[in-house]
Amino acid sequence: MLLSDSIREECGIFAIHGSKNSDVAAQTYLALYALQHRGQESCGIAVNDDGVFGYHRDLGLVPDVFTRDILAGLGKGNMALGHVRYASEGRKSRSHAQPLVVRHIKGNMALAFNGCLTNADELREEVELSGAIFHSASDIEIISHVITRERLTARSIEEAVSAAMGKLKGAYSLVVMSPSKLIACRDANGFRPLCMGCKDDNIIFASETCALDSIGATLVREIEPGEIVVVDQNGVNSNRARCAGKGTLCVFEFVYFARPDSVISGVNVHEARQRAGEYLAMENPVEADVVIGVPDSGIPAALGYARESGIPYGIGFIKNRYIDRTFIQPTQLERELSVKIKLNAIDSTVRGKRVVLIDDSIVRGTTCGRIVRLLREAGAKEVHMRVSAPPFMHLCYFGTSIDSRENLIACKMSIPEIEKWIGVDSLGYLSVESVAKMAENAACGFCTGCFTGEYPAPVPKLKKKTRFDHKISERAGEEE
């Protein structure tokens, strides 16, 4: 999906524990490159050289932030954390970049996470009232304060992390680096993915297996929901005291977020997306001449739709990969121009034909309307849009940037109205029942709350925006 009209997920994480004086920064760089799709706002790497931490983080893409000189400056070490970030809310700021490195009375600590706390407001107020100072509006700072406070009385860093998990609510896949240990954990629902791999004597944690592949590592297993894994010089230890079941992964990892070559919960993402396309063809058949997908995330579902329906698959668009993603453009005019520069319809594929256009979702409806116009201008006789996810009807509280029903076209219009708005001859969505089946035999359940309004964990009554990102005139009734 292209986008000013797409949803975004918060970030991708990577961590590695190896032998002393290893080139862990370079391996982390390669892994972050593989995870770049999970976050294009900022990135960072922290290196642990026998208890001495060095780090660099900034706004921008991985190859732009980490020049050859900056990577060399990080030096070698025995551990490293890496992070790429999207902002689910709040302003674009260097202060939100991760990993976060803190220095407290018990030593250095670096943290990186993927997710969203549902009790962030309460936790922040609690630690602020005890005198804590924040430099950003990011949840990772809240997590660092909670862990640090627990560490003051805990016998070990892993004990402090476990105690903190008892206070953190919502979604989090988290990696923590102390002077001598590397820790990885997931919330009890397992909303966001996290896997463990190995390469020689290195133990690795990553949001997706594509990061393992990029450095020649082998997948060991998924980190279980609620599990804490500790790596030190003595080996790997697991604490499953907080595990409560197989979890409820965000289903959009399979629909859109994850890279197609990744394996999550034992299921190949590309194959799951093809399966979604097959279900979509069963539920929303149409007479047509060619099936095409919106690059890149709509293509696997288009292949599945074509295979099930018997309608030939065709390459309908050429994508220019040398410009930024469309949602990054600051004005609506620039976004519209970017769509035209980034995508071009192939006339010979669509001219005079009835076209089935497959995309993974419709959020606001603006970008898909422009894509449909490209097909019409290229001579498509009919355009039938099929979407490999159900309509977005509800907010997400667990790290996806669906924070207002006002921006969701399915909440404002009926299907016939959406058809007219985006200019298609027909529109069909995948059912909730089928989207939950697309990852057949996955070793997890799924959260489909953004489609159904039914969530596997408690959600806040009101999703607040940080007061620090609002002008004084917008903060009615607040005392200075």
Task: Examine the residue annotation and report whether 185 is marked as an active-site residue of this protein.
Answer: no
Please name the residue that has the structure tokens 């399979």: 254
> Exposure string (b/e) for 88-111, b if CB count within 10 Å is 16 or more?
beeeebeebbbbbbeeeeeebbbb
Q: How many CB atoms lie within 10 A of CB 350?
A: 26
DSSP string, 142-171: HHHHHHHHHHTT-SSHHHHHHHHHTT--EE
Pairing of strands 202-206, 11-22: antiparallel
- Other beta carbons within 10 Å of 261: 13
Which helix (H) or strand (E) segment is 419 a member of?
A: helix 415-422
List the Cα angle 333/3/431 in 5-degree steps: 135
State whether the Cα torsion 153-154-156-157 is positive or negative: negative
- C-alpha 11/C-alpha 173 separation (Å) is 10
Give the N- to C-terminal CA distance of the chain in Å, as an integer.
43
Q: Determine the residue type at 169.
A: K
Beta-ladder partners of 90: none
User: What are 46's two structure tokens?
Assistant: 């922290």
**Residue-wise over 416-451: b if at least 16 C-beta within 10 A, else e?**
eebbebbbbbbbbbbbbebbbbbbeebebbbbbbbb
Instruction: Enter the tokens of residue 340.
Output: 């035209």
Burial (0-12, 13-18, 19+ Cβ within 10 Å), 52: exposed
- What gap in Å lies between CA 38 and CA 14, rounded to an integer? 12
Question: CA 422 to CA 363: how far, in whole Å?
Answer: 12
Burial of 155: CB neighbours in 10 Å, binned 0-12, 13-18, 19+: exposed
**Coil/strand/helix, residue 415:** helix
Q: Which two tokens stand for residue 26?
A: 């370079």
| Paired tokens of 107 | 């030593």
Whether residue 277 contacts residue 358, with contact meaning beta carbons closer than 8 Å, is answered with yes
Q: Which one of 11, 43, 210, 450 is the catalytic residue?
A: 11
Positions marked active-site: 11
